[in-house]
């Protein structure tokens, strides 16, 4: 899960640029598909979401 992580510098730059753009939420260090999955979390039923989280933690 954490084999390819973002550098601290890139995360800080993303946060800084997001702040300058007036964004309240900035997702950094993820691929496009991971960002899409993160944006779908509020729309996902809690039961399905918890099942997916459990699968990730068991590995």
What does pTM read for this prediction? 0.55
Compute mean pLDDT per 10 residues along the chain, 59 residues long, and list them: 78 95 89 83 91 87
pLDDT at 12: 94
CA–CA distance, 47 with 45 (Å, rounded to integer): 6
pLDDT at 2: 62
Domains of the chain by residue range: 8-58
CA–CA distance, 15 with 25 (Å, rounded to integer): 9
CA–CA distance, 18 with 40 (Å, rounded to integer): 20
pLDDT at 50: 92
pLDDT at 45: 93
């Amino acid at each position: 899960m954490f084999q390819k992580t973002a550098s601290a510098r890139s995360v800080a730059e993303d946060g800084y640029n997001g702040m300058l753009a007036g964004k309240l939420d900035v997702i950094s260090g993820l691929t496009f598909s991971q960002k899409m999955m993160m944006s779908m979390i509020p729309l996902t039923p809690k039961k399905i979401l918890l099942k997916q989280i459990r699968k990730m933690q068991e590995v």
